[in-house]
Amino acid sequence: MTSIKLRAVVALFGLALVCAAQAQQAAAPKKAATQTKKAANSSPSAIAAEFEKFRDIMEDASPAELFEAKGEELWKMKRGPKNASLEQCDLGQGRGVVKGAYVRMPRYFADADQVMDAERRIVYCMVTLQGFKEADLAKKPFSSGSHTPDPVSLVTYVAANSRGMKIAVPQKHPREREAFNVGKEIFNYRAGPWDFSCDTCHGESGLRIRTQDLPNLTSKKEAIAAFQSWPGYRMTGGLMHSLQWRLNDCFRQQRFPEPGYVSETISDLMTYLGVNANGHVYKGPGIKR
Amino acid sequence: MADPMRIRATAKDGGINVKILMAHEMETGQRKDSAGKPIPAHFITHVSAMWQGKEVLSANWGPAIAKNPFLEFNFKGGKKGEKIQVTWTDNKGEKRTDEASIN
């Protein structure tokens, strides 16, 4: 138990230092908080409903499928310094088994002695099997312009192979339970110039920022939002993004330092969010506005 | 290397319905990058669909079509199990062909 606590505290202490430095430039934190609350009292967003209609129409023409196809090609192709494919990669269901792996991650992997989410595991396999360097993959980890990083296409392919399946993020191994607890602690940790935590924006139903509805990720009913339509094709800019990006961007919105690429922090948070969403049916990669 | 397409061909109402998603930037040549330099045009100029060695669709395209384009069309004839090949060619002479079975 103490080791769990310690890990969270050490990680958060690092965050707190940077945040303290930023706090000096803080602009009226109270005001920002009241504005969020005010927006919450308006009626449900009509724009969100319109977008849902659009998403339905686009369902069988979703550009996300292009990245699924690209990911499949990358999965099966011999690549990297070791000229190997990823077909020997174990995503937790046995070597090379892609079906159903995504809805059962993050999970504990004994070979790495780590709890890993899908993207983290894929990067681990790219490093161990294909000989890529993690530092290189971390250089430009998110989609921009015409660049889609390989792990993003790969995670889209893996996620597509869990389409229509129930989310079942495991909590058997002690390390998986530890990841849940640390994730929960990070989710509720308030700091930074606005004194925000994830919970500030995602701990209550009915909140929104401008036209964006904010899902309550702590409620059984809405927690599915952390999975549904991710990885997602964003109509804005026509970019494919994984959850790795979404969480990273929320750290940024929270005015926190951004976590490292495929870091333990992200896996822990995803474990917390995933367990909350357990039992919901995952519809596969989708479209985001 | 050009990225794969997604093709769905389904027998429907006595004909075949084909849906194609293509992975392409479709850059118009009218935009500038953050440094103010024009981004060179890069778009699909021709799409062709073949069924049993016969061309069932031939389309000339231009820069007015959006990124990662979607194309849907129907043709008469064709049965389940037969194959459709789709090829696009762009203004740089790049090409990509993919195939799908009708189901």
Q: What is the 3-state secondary structure (H, E, C) of A163-204?
A: CCEECCCCCCCHHHHHHHHHHHHHHHCCECCCCECHHHHHCC
Contact (Cβ atoms closer than 8 angstroms) between residue B58 and residue B65: no
User: Residue A37 has what pLDDT?
Assistant: 42
Residue B21 to residue A146, Cβ atoms within 8 A: no
Q: With residue A23 as reference, give the H or E element that holds it.
A: helix A2-23
**What residue ranges do the domains of chain B occupy?**
6-28+42-101
In this predicted model, what pLDDT tens digit does every residue of B50-94 receive, in sequence order? 999 999 999 999 999 999 999 999 999 889 999 999 999 999 999
Residue A61 to residue B21, Cβ atoms within 8 A: yes
Distance of alpha carbon A162 from the chain centroid:
16
Q: Is the pLDDT of residue A2 over 90?
A: no
**Among the ranges given (A183-187, A207-211, A212-216), the one the predictor scored with the smallest mean pLDDT:** A207-211
Q: Could you tell me the pLDDT band of residue B12, with boundaries at 50, 70 and 90?
A: confident
Return the higher-pLDDT residue of A207 and A178.
Answer: A178
Instruction: Provide the 8-state DSSP code for B65.
Output: S
Of A61, A68, A69, the CB nearest to B70: A61
User: Residue A45 has what pLDDT?
Assistant: 67
Nearest chain A CA: its distance from B53 CA (Å): 25
Contact (Cβ atoms closer than 8 angstroms) between residue A285 and residue A231: yes
Local structure of A48: helix, strand or coil:
helix
The amino acid occupying position A214 is: L
User: Residue B13 has what pLDDT?
Assistant: 84
**N- to C-terminal Cα separation, chain A:** 41
Q: Which residues from A are below 8 Å from B6, CB to CB?
A: 65-66, 68-69
User: Residue B1 has what pLDDT?
Assistant: 62
Q: Which residues from B are below 8 Å from A62, CB to CB?
A: 21
User: Residue A13 has what pLDDT?
Assistant: 38
**Among the ranges given (A117-126, A227-236, A273-282), the one the predictor scored with the smallest mean pLDDT:** A227-236
Encoded tokens for B93 = 């002479």
Encoded tokens for B8 = 């769905």
**Sheet harboring B6-12: ordered strands across?**
B6-12, B15-21, B70-76
Return the higher-pLDDT residue of A189 and A57.
Answer: A189
Q: Could you tell me the pLDDT band of residue A35, with boundaries at 50, 70 and 90?
A: very low
How many contacts, defined by CB atoms under 8 Å, are there between A and B?
36
Q: pTM for the full model?
A: 0.82
Q: Is the pLDDT of residue A47 over 90?
A: no
Encoded tokens for A208 = 């929104």
Q: Could you tell me the pLDDT band of residue A288, with boundaries at 50, 70 and 90?
A: confident
**Among the ranges given (A178-182, A231-235, B45-49), the one the predictor scored with the smallest mean pLDDT:** A231-235
User: Residue B2 has what pLDDT?
Assistant: 86
* Cα–Cα dist B29/B43, whole Å: 9
User: Residue A245 has what pLDDT?
Assistant: 95
User: Residue A48 has what pLDDT?
Assistant: 73
Q: What is the mean pLDDT of chain B?
A: 94
Q: Which residues from B are below 8 Å from A68, CB to CB?
A: 6
A198 is catalytic: no
Q: What is the mean pLDDT of chain A?
A: 85
Average the pLDDT over A13-27 and give the result: 36
* Cα–Cα dist A198/A232, whole Å: 20
> Which ipTM did the prediction report?
0.75
Instruction: Provide the 8-state DSSP code for A257.
Output: P
In this predicted model, what pLDDT tens digit does every residue of A159-179 receive, in sequence order? 999 999 999 999 999 999 999
User: Residue A23 has what pLDDT?
Assistant: 35
The amino acid occupying position A75 is: W
- Residue B4: cis peptide before it, omega within 30 degrees of 0: no
Is CATH 2.60.40.10 correct for B6-28+42-101? Answer: yes
For residue A214, what are the CA distances in angstroms to A35, A48, A179, B38?
14, 11, 24, 38
**Among the ranges given (A37-51, A135-149, A274-288, B22-36), the one the predictor scored with the smallest mean pLDDT:** A37-51
Return the residue of A nearest to B23 by Cα: A66
User: Residue A9 has what pLDDT?
Assistant: 37
